């Protein structure tokens, strides 16, 4: 069974990481995260920045329950993911967490609409047609829903991937470089759509980005270096983000 650690915490803090370590074991162990603690307020937008290999994707995957920390705990909406059994974790993730990948990950032989309904299908829920239409409308892709992913532009495909992440109305949405494969103007439009939709739903959003302008649109920026959180900037400006990133090189 899934049990809440505290109701107050669940409402005020959406995501909490306590001393999260992740070591990939292989021929040579890689310490991708070396003790990260953080607390994200419900309804906030956080950007995660840092050099390639600093541990951004690992952090996101651990926070979203897609990967398991080697040590430490991850608490989402008051539930400790690290203490859930695999089945319960999968169920919890489907219901409470949305994830947007850089490479969209739409299934090629399903239409855009079938793709976005997939999370509902997997959790045995019927589509809410009114909600689906309003989501597609907000993302500006309502007219394209019967196309196959291969018939969409990158920006359009990513809007469907966002719709798919939001269709279950998850409390927290993680996006790992969601605009990395798009030109900057298309990327900005996609991000604005994500922000607007998430803010209308009061969702907590965490975005990994390499773009200082994108990061500066967040409420807070977390800077990672070598598997550690080395800086936190509240109400950032693009100049501050760039300066702190350069300071870490």
Ligand X SMILES: Nc1ncnc2c1ncn2[C@@H]1O[C@H](COP(=O)(O)OP(=O)(O)OP(=O)(O)O)[C@@H](O)[C@H]1O
Residues contributing to the site for ligand X (CB under 6 A): 24, 26, 30, 32, 50, 52-58
Question: Cβ closer to ligand X: 55 or 149?
Answer: 55
Residue nearest to Mg ion (CB): 57
Distance between CA atoms of residues 163 and 152, nearest Å: 14
Contacts of 103-106 with C-beta under 8 Å, sequence gap 24+, read 103/181, 104/149, 104/154, 104/157, 104/158, 104/160, 104/161, 104/181, 105/161, 106/149, 106/157, 106/160, 106/161, 106/164
The token pair that represents 249 in the structure block: 């090189």
Compute the least distance from the CB of residue 234 to Mg ion, in Å. 24
Alpha-carbon span 143 to 19, nearest angstrom: 45
As measured in angstroms, the least distance from the Cβ of 209 to ligand X is: 10
Output the smallest distance, CB 59 to ligand X, in A.
7
Name the binder of 115 from Mg ion, ligand X, none, CB < 5-8 A by kind.
Answer: none
Q: Which does 53 bind (CB under 5 to 8 A by kind): Mg ion, ligand X, none?
A: ligand X
Pick from 202, 158, 198: nearest CA to 177: 158
Three-class secondary structure of residue 99 per DSSP: strand
Smaller CB distance to Mg ion: residue 56 or 220?
Answer: 56
Q: Which is nearer to ligand X, 140 or 180 (CB)?
A: 180
CB of 22 to Mg ion, least distance (A): 13
Give whichever of 116 and 207 is closer to ligand X, judged by the CB atom.
Answer: 207
Residue 54 interacts, among Mg ion, ligand X, none and using kind-specific CB cut-offs from 5 to 8 Å, with: ligand X
Residues that bind Mg ion (CB under 5 A): 56-57
Nearer CB in complex with ligand X: 7/52:
52
Strand-strand pairing, 220-225 and 228-234: antiparallel
* Among ligand X, Mg ion, none, partner that 244 touches (CB below 5 to 8 angstroms by kind): none
Region class of 8: left (phi > 0), else alpha (psi between -120 and 50), else beta: alpha
């Amino acid at each position: 069974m899934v049990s809440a650690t505290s109701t107050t915490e669940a409402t005020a803090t959406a995501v909490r990481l306590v001393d999260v370590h992740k070591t990939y074991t292989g021929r040579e162990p890689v310490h991708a995260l070396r003790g990260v603690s953080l607390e994200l307020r419900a309804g906030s937008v956080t950007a995660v920045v840092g050099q390639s290999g600093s541990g951004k994707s690992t952090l996101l995957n651990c926070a979203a329950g897609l990967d398991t920390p080697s040590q430490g705990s991850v608490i989402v909406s008051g539930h400790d993911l690290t203490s859930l059994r695999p089945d319960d974790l999968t169920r919890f993730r489907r219901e409470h967490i949305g994830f947007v990948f850089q490479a969209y990950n739409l299934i090629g032989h399903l239409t855009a609409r079938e793709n976005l309904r997939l999370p509902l299908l997997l959790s045995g829920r019927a589509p809410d047609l009114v909600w689906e239409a309003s989501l597609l409308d907000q993302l500006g892709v309502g007219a394209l829903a019967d196309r196959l992913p291969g018939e969409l532009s990158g920006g359009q495909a990513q809007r469907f991937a966002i719709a798919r992440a939001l269709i279950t109305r998850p409390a927290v949405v993680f996006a790992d470089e969601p605009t990395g494969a798009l030109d900057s103007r298309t990327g900005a439009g996609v991000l604005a759509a994500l922000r607007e939709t998430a803010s209308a739903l009061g969702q907590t959003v965490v975005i990994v980005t390499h773009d200082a302008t994108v990061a500066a649109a967040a409420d807070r920026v977390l800077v990672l270096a070598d598997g550690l959180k080395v800086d936190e900037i509240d109400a950032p400006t693009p100049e501050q983000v760039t300066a702190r990133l350069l300071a870490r090189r």
